[in-house]
Homo-oligomer: A and B are copies of this chain.
Amino acid sequence: MPKSLHQRAVEHLGSRIVDGSIPAGEVIVAAELESELSVSRSVIREAVRVLASAGLVVSTKRVGIRVLPPADWNPFDPLVIRWRLAGDGQGAQLRSLTELRVAVEPMAAELAAEHAPAEFCGELLNLAAQMRHAGRSGDLASFLELDIRFHAMVLAASGNEMFANLANPIAETLRGRTELGLMPEHPHEEALAWHQGVADAISAHEPHRARESMELIMRRTNEEICGVWAHKPRLFPQPRA
């Protein structure tokens, strides 16, 4: 299925910038890209505009298209997240996202217990039961997908659209952890109980208990992987004016 030329141009340039093939500070002229990709100016210009809106490049007259340093990238842009997870920045990206999860999900569980509509509660209980079943039978692939849906459901049930929007990158995080072999061989019985506890507490509208159960899950998550990327350098950008 051939994607549009525009998408391919965005992908080509963006992924090369994010994986470091094109270092920050490099300047490119649009004409080069035209011949490199064998596409016309309009395609290049539209792609550059999209990448500029993600903070990857800035284009100025007489100089060309300048690649910006990682500190200027929008780390919440879905494209940036995808490219980082696909390449060298994978470790740092997974760490950032995991830390974000640890911060956000307990709050999401608390809000969900206060505001979640009934159908979300039912679905959460349903998912928790299925997770228990898949976990005990050792069906790791199903468990992963259920886990993803469970956490996405909690985020959506919080009624906070920013939380809900984190579902996709968090799903990628979980998949990434699995690919890297950072998930336990067999889901812990405690983890199953904690997920059940989150679903129960949200359904019973008990915010405090929902938060605490989710905090247990997150604490375990953090412990399992906090050491893995400890050596990766952290970025400390100066807060801009």
Contacts and interface: CB of A to CB of B under 8 A. Distances in A.
Contact of A239 (B75, B161, B167): B167
A28 interface: no
A120 B238 CA distance: 9
A235 B157 CA distance: 9
Determine the interface band of chain A, counting residues with CB < 8 A from chain B: 35 or more
B99 A111 contact: yes
How many monomers of this chain does the complex have? 2
Interface string A66-83: 000011001111110000
A149 B238 CA distance: 11
A159 B53 contact: no
Interface of A is mostly: helix
A13 interface: no
Q: Which of A42, A49, A50, A106 has most B Cβ within 10 Å?
A: A49
A100 B236 contact: no
A50 B6 CA distance: 12
B160 A238 contact: no
A191 interface: no
Contacts of A76: 74, 76-77, 162, 165
